[in-house]
Amino acid sequence: MALNLLMLGPPGAGKGTQAERFARTRGIPKVSTGDILREAVHANTEIGLRAKAIMDRGELVSDEVMIGIVRERLDRQDVAGGFVLDGFPRTVAQATALDRIMTGRDPLIVVDIVVPEGELVRRLATRLICESCGANAPIGDGTSACMRCGGRMVQRTDDNEAVVRERLKVYHRQSEPLVEYYRVRPSFRSINGAQPPDRVAADLAAAIEAVGNGGGEGLRP
């Protein structure tokens, strides 16, 4: 049975770091929408060219284009044994499209990483990102070099408290319907992200194991 994991959580929850760590440990691909969008544009695929034209106009990539890019990525052979999906879906419309993409495949396990807003603000206001590839430094890591590409780590210009709180408001407004969409499923779990990364990783593994050991009967939507 393939292990198909969907990670949810607000900016600063550490879901990208946990997704990458879990994917590496289990030997399955981490599918990040940011990465596959850049890859599709670079590869000049039909959907990638559409996305590039949209971004070149300074517009947001539509649900239709993002769904097409994710469908294209999940059709590749390297995800046959499972994947960790990070950054998609962001809306209920994208979630229902993902259900259609997953038809005939092993079901999704959905994990929501929950962190209090005060802690998110603290983390985001001190967060470093790579100026070359855009990767985030792991929470609490003050390194000066990117672990992915070796680029210089810098603070985002919009990572001040007022802007961070506004971004979190937008996230909660958009994400609450999405979390509710998945919450009713036996394969849904919430874990406490306001812990050291090793503890979060252990809780993530335990949640997935609980679903796999019979805690998620009737997993399909």
The DSSP bridge pattern shows strands 128-130 and 153-155 to be antiparallel
Whether cis (ω within 30° of 0) applies to the bond prior to 29 is: no
Q: How confident is the model at residue 141 (pLDDT cuts 50, 70, 90)?
A: low
Across 44-58, 62-76, 97-111, 133-147, least confident range:
133-147
Whether 127 sits among the annotated catalytic residues: the reply is: yes
Q: How buried is residue 191: exposed, middle or buried, by Cβ count under 10 Å (0-12/13-18/19+)?
A: buried
Q: 137: exposed, middle or buried (C-beta count within 10 Å: 0-12, 13-18, 19+)?
A: buried
Which of 50, 123, 127, 185 is catalytic? The answer is 127
| pLDDT digits 0-9 by tens, 145-154 | 888 898 888 8
Question: pTM above the 0.95 mark?
Answer: no
Fold of 3-215: Rossmann fold (3.40.50)
| Percent of the residues in the chain that have a pLDDT greater than 90, as a whole number | 43
Determine the distance from the C-alpha atom of residue 85 to the mean position of all C-alpha atoms in its chain, rounded to a whole number.
6
Residue 15 catalytic?
yes
User: pLDDT class for 199, splitting at 50, 70, 90?
Assistant: very high
* Residue with token string 């929408």: 33
State pLDDT tens for residues 82-134.
999 998 998 899 999 999 999 999 989 999 999 999 999 888 887 788 888 87
pLDDT category of residue 143 using cuts at 50, 70 and 90:
low
Joined tokens for residue 29: 């691909």
pLDDT score for 203: 96
Of 15, 21, 30, 50, which one is the catalytic site residue?
Answer: 15
In the chain, where are the structural domains located?
Answer: 3-215
Question: Is residue 217 scored above 70 in pLDDT?
Answer: no
Q: Average of pLDDT values for 181-201?
A: 95
- The angle subtended at Cα 137 by Cα 131 and Cα 139, nearest 5°, is 150
Confidence of residue 35 (pLDDT cuts 50, 70, 90): confident
Task: Kindly name the residue from 21, 30, 167, 185 that is annotated as catalytic.
Answer: 167
Q: Which of 38, 52, 90, 122 is flagged as catalytic?
A: 90
Burial 2-30 (b: 16+ CB within 10 A, else e): ebbbbbbbbbbbbbbbbbbbbbeebebbb
- CA 84, 198, 114, 221 dihedral sign is positive
